[in-house]
Homo-oligomer: A and B are copies of this chain.
Amino acid sequence: MTDEKPYHHGDLRSALLAAAEAELDARGIEAFSLRAVAKRAGVSHAAPAHHFSDANGLLTALAAEGYRRLLAYQGRRQASAAAEPAAQLVASGLGYIDFAMECPALFRLVFGSVRPDHGARDLQAAASMAYTHLTDLVFAAGGRTVADESAVWALAHGLADLLSAGRLKGVASMEPAMRDAVLRDVLARSLP
């Protein structure tokens, strides 16, 4: 009510990132429109160019945020799990799945889109933090081979991807407690 529309937004960069995520949630990555993001943030269609090189530049920054949020979801599950390495590994897998289910748009942006520049510095940094987190957990749980690492990641990722796409109706239709139990059972199979 005080400031209707100041010429300078103040923190347009953050507002654009939030608007872009809302836009992704509403219309999906394949219908993503930079002009719609700008409209959502209340600025003109060319304003984003002053904060991001490209539409893909905006998506790159958002994908980095996606990796950080993935780690947050994993940490949340691990915090309420037993300290044994195997339990931590399973918990991080549940966090991976939580992220995919609760932020499906970000999940698909990070793992299913080539629009973010996956070679960009900040995105690569965020990605390697997530990757290091995985390899550390695998090592702590006794995994030593490429097969171990691949199995752990692929199983969690496959469950997350199929669930967020609605292709595992048998699991998705369960009540939360039962669903977690099944997922724990499955995730525990990744290490021999």
Q: Which residues of A does B touch, CB under 8 Å?
A: 28-30, 108, 111-115, 146-147, 149-151, 153-159, 161-162, 165, 168, 170-171, 182, 185-186, 189-192
Q: Which 6 A-B pairs have the closest CB atoms?
A: A158-B158, A154-B158, A157-B158, A146-B170, A154-B159, A151-B186
A114 touches B150 (CB 8 A): no
For the complex formed by this chain, how many copies does it contain in all?
2
Pick the residue among B30, B182, B192 that contacts A113 (CB under 8 A): B30
Residue of B nearest to A127 (CB): B167
Name 24 A/B residue pairs within 8 A (Cβ), A-sorted. Answer: A30-B30, A30-B113, A30-B114, A108-B112, A111-B165, A112-B112, A146-B170, A146-B171, A146-B182, A150-B162, A150-B168, A150-B170, A150-B171, A151-B189, A153-B158, A153-B168, A154-B158, A154-B168, A155-B155, A155-B158, A155-B190, A158-B161, A189-B190, A189-B191
